Amino acid sequence: MPIMNWDSSLDIGVSSMNEEHKRILDAMNRVYDAAQAGKTGDEINLLVERLGAICVRHFADEEAFMASIGFPGLYNHKFIHVDLLERFATHADAIKAAGGRTNDAFFHFLTHWLSVHIKAIDGKYGAHAAGGTCAA
């Protein structure tokens, strides 16, 4: 059972980025489902690593997209991405040190990050891409 599902509130109006957000959710749900099934060790560590790689790729794609549309908040958005990846790495390292055992804090971080970041932060470049007003 997924920890978080895609819904219309996560639609930022940019189909390519929506698809990448869906891939992140799918990878996050795979980690969650495996953890709920009692999986640990290399299986969890590989799933967490895959999720991290998807996020790194997405952030690069997202930053390239923002640059292509002249999004004025790109500079600040990059710093947010750096912070998120550092926080993700801290969680991933703790999971690895625990033998591939996840914890509630990791999943809270992911769900909170995805929900807030997509709706409040990514929505700004979505509005900019659509020609609406955008506060950087």
pLDDT of 119:
87
Average of pLDDT values for 94-110? 96
Determine the average pLDDT of the residues in 105-125: 91
Give the predicted TM-score (pTM) of the model. Answer: 0.91
Q: What is the pLDDT of residues 38-82, one digit of tens each?
A: 999 999 999 999 999 999 999 999 999 999 999 999 999 999 999
Q: Give the Cα separation of 1 and 124 in Å (integer).
A: 31
Report pLDDT for 136.
47
Lowest model confidence (mean pLDDT) among 51-60, 100-109, 111-120: 111-120
CB pairs under 8 A, 24+ apart, for 10-13? 10/114, 10/115, 10/118, 10/119, 12/118, 12/122, 12/123, 12/125, 12/126, 13/126, 13/127, 13/129, 13/130
pLDDT of residue 2: 84
